[in-house]
Amino acid sequence: MSPKNIVRVAALAEALEDAGIAEPARGVEVGVWMARMSCAMMDLWPTLHLTLVDQWKGYADGSTVRGDAEMQHLRGAALSRLQSGPYASRHTLLEMSSVRAARTFYGQPGWADFVFIDADHSFDACLLDCRAWLPVVRPGGLLCGHDYGPYKDVETGVLEPEFGVTDAVYLFCAARGLAFRTGGDSTWFVKKP
């Protein structure tokens, strides 16, 4: 497991424990990539069942461009990890858009102990993800994710958020009167009232 995944999972574990959830039973990871974090979460919590959501389609995110072929390679790496050992029976894979996947839970409000969002980092997509997934989180559970607040020095010398996540999370929480906190490796956490 990479050091970054260790920091992310540790931050999630701390936030869940602070929320009174020491052993989450059901979680969602939106944006699976190569499933390293997925496996780390299942290693930490042996009874956790994860719903994993990813389309593995090419995209352009700021200066980062990833083609369909590269994304299919990442999908293959994820499936290799997930279909082996202790993980095979502990996840459900939804290969569809994040919002479409969230809609599959709308008859089951409050289903998940947590939803971790690390998919499309654009402002619009992150805001849509937050809106779509909050109903899926149980009261007292966490809506959370990655890439809050990384900054880069732009040509003007002004520091700005590198991704749209920072502004989307801030606006989402402000509009609903929700508090949020940040954690290691640019993670963010919102406890659902």
Question: What are the extents of the domains in the chain?
Answer: 3-191
How high is the pLDDT of residue 62? 64
Q: pLDDT tens digits, the chain, 193 residues: what are they?
A: 788 889 999 999 999 999 999 999 999 999 999 999 999 999 999 999 999 999 999 887 766 778 999 999 999 999 999 998 899 999 999 999 999 999 999 999 999 999 999 999 999 999 999 999 999 999 999 999 999 986 766 677 677 777 899 999 999 999 999 999 999 999 999 999 9
| Chain segment 57-92, per-residue pLDDT in tens | 988 776 677 899 999 999 999 999 999 889 999 999
Q: Mean pLDDT score of the chain, rounded to an integer?
A: 93
Question: Which residues on neighbouring strands pair with residue 190, listed in sequence order?
Answer: 143, 180
List b or e across 33-51, with b for residues whose CB sees 16 or more CB atoms inside 10 angstroms. bbbbbbbbbbeebeebebb
Q: What is the CATH number of domain 3-191?
A: 3.40.50.150
Q: At what angle do helices 165-176 and 123-133 cross, to 10 degrees?
A: 40
Please list, in sequence order, all residues whose beta carbon lies within 8 angstroms of the beta carbon of residue 5, skipping any fewer than 6 positions away.
36, 37, 40
How high is the pLDDT of residue 114? 98
Identify residue 24 by its one-letter amino acid code.
P
DSSP H/E element including 50: strand 49-53
Task: Output the pTM of the full model.
Answer: 0.94
- Token pair belonging to 160: 């700005």
